[in-house]
Each structure stands twice: as C-alpha cells, then as structure tokens.
Structure 1
Amino acid sequence: MVKIGEIAARAGVSVDTVRYYEQRGILPPPVRLPSGYRTYAPSSVNRIVLARRLRAVGMSIDEIVAALAAHDGGGTCGSEVWRLEAVRERIDTQIAQLSKLRDFLTPMISACTDGCCELSPIISPSER
C-alpha cells in the first residue's frame, strides 16, 4: 500500500486530484491507517493515468466513472466500445462545427487583406 503523496507523484497529479478521483468513484476507497493517512494499491497509479487519458480525449468524469464501474463489474472492451464511439462522434461533430467557422472566416480574411474589409460598413467613419 502506498500513501497518497506517492500515488500522486507517480501518476503526475496533485494530491487534490487523487482525493477528487476517490470522491467521484474513479478510485476505490483507500485503506486508512490508524493515523488517518490514506493508502492506495500501487495499481491506483494506472487507474489515474487511464482516467486522465480518457478525460483528455473528451470523456466526462461521469462517463469515466461509468466505464470503470462496468469494467470492474466484468465488462469487456468489446462490451464497452460504444462509450469510446460516442466520444468519437462528439469529436467529429466539434470538428465539423469548427470547420464551418473556419470556412466563414477565410473569405473575411481575404477581403480584409485585399482592402475590402467586411467590417468597414459596420464601423462609422468617425470611429475609424
């Protein structure tokens, strides 16, 4: 068993993050020493790293908790792949939205570069 500071250091997170992950159910409740110190299994580091990776690709904390709970309950990667597919669909939607925004800005930039700024009619001559 390893104390919270060591788990945090090994996982590259703060002690507060370890406590938060414990509170949210990403980590199982730690064993408490008579002094009150939390101690964790060394495997907690891998669980924290996995949770951070899943968070980085867009999974919410609730989704991570549900995925880990399903895995802990005997779920397999095959039975849980739908969660990752849902995240990928969200990312694809965001990419499409950002692409539309980019397509909107490109002609405006060209117009401004050519001295024909589309913002000019909006700004009165006295404000220039």
Structure 2
Amino acid sequence: MKIGQVASEADVTIDTVRFYERRGVLPEPGRRPSGFREYPASTVERIRMARMLQNLGFTLDEIIEMLHAHDTGTATCDSEQWRLEGALDRIDAKIAELRRTRRLISTTIKECRTGHCRFAGQLEGDRPLSRTESDGRGHR
C-alpha cells in the first residue's frame, strides 16, 4: 500500500503516518524500485491501535513500548497491567482537576449573581466589581 492509501484507510494524515514511522510506532516500510514506500496492510491496524491507545490516555512513548512488547511476543495481561493502572491514575487525576475547575466556575457564577465579579477585580488589579459599578453583567 502507498502512504496515501494507508493514511486514508487509517483516517489520519500522511504527515501522521510519517511521524509514526519516525517515532518508531511503525516499522520502516520497504521501498518500491521507484523509491515509494510500500506499507503492508497491517500498518492500518497498527495505526488504529496506536490511536486507540492514545485515546485511552497512553503517551506516545508508552505506546511504542507496548507495540514493541507485542512485536517481540513478551506482552501479556500481567506484564502490561501496570501500564493500564498508570493510565487510569492519570485519568483520575484529570477528573479531579476538572471537578476543582467546575467548582471554581460554579462559585464564580454564584458570586457574579450576587453582584461580585471575582475576575474583573483581579484583572484590574483591585477589588471585584459590584453590579452598580458595571453594566449589570460584571462589565464596566
């Protein structure tokens, strides 16, 4: 398969295929006599697997290590479980951060509704604005 066909079937750009090749996600393909890269059909599935692992929260370096373990036949559920646990820990940390951010936004909305805009005062370098000093929406 040529690079354009691989990219199209894997739903990525040609640049992504080249990037994955440079980083070691994909093995270096063979070359046609014309010099064009010739990818095996399995390249599409390998790209899809890498993308799926990225969506699960794995870093590119982790994905490369996982694919290498798979290629060498050393990957088992037991040997890879720690990677899954690490990804889950990162997701839990992101969820906690999003919850903190949500609470801050909710609190700020409540403050604005009572006439105090936390951000306007901080941006101006002074106290929060009250509704009487603003246009009623926390703006001057």
TM-score of the two chains, using structure 2 as the length reference = 0.80
Correspondence for 1:53: 52
After superposition, where does 1:1-20 map in structure 2 within 5 Å?
2-20=1-19
User: Which stretches of structure 1, 4 residues or more, deviate above 3 A after TM superposition?
Assistant: 116-120, 122-125
Root mean square deviation, CA, Å: 2.2
Q: Which amino acid aligns with 1:76?
A: T
Larger Rg: 2
The alpha-carbon distance between structure 1 residues 112 and 46, as it changes in their structure 2 partners (threshold 3 A), is: same
Correspondence for 2:83: 83
Distance apart, 1:28 and its partner CA: 0.9
- CA distance in 1: counterparts of 2:129 and 2:2, whole angstroms: 62
Q: Which amino acid aligns with 1:78?
A: D
Q: Secondary structure at the match of 1:41?
A: coil
Q: How many residues align?
A: 127
- CA distance in 1: counterparts of 2:110 and 2:50, whole angstroms: 43
Of 99-108 and 111-120, deviating more is: 111-120
Higher relative contact order (CA 8 A, sep 6+): 1
Percent identity at matched positions?
A: 48
Asked whether the equivalents of residues 26 and 46 of structure 2 are also in contact (C-alpha less than 8 Å), the reply is yes
Q: Which amino acid aligns with 2:35?
A: G
Unpaired runs of 5+ in structure 1?
none
- CA distance in 1: counterparts of 2:12 and 2:116, whole angstroms: 50
Of 57-66 and 107-116, deviating more is: 107-116
After superposition, where does 1:32-43 map in structure 2 within 5 Å?
32-43=31-42
Unpaired runs of 5+ in structure 2?
122-126, 134-138
The alpha-carbon distance between structure 1 residues 9 and 36, as it changes in their structure 2 partners (threshold 3 A), is: same
Q: Secondary structure at the match of 2:26?
A: coil
Correspondence for 1:99: 99
Distance apart, 1:123 and its partner CA: 5.1
Distance apart, 1:117 and its partner CA: 3.5
* CA deviation map 1:53-95 (0-9, x unaligned): 1112221111110110111111123321221221110010111
Asked whether the equivalents of residues 117 and 129 of structure 2 are also in contact (C-alpha less than 8 Å), the reply is no
Correspondence for 2:22: 23
Distance apart, 1:105 and its partner CA: 2.5
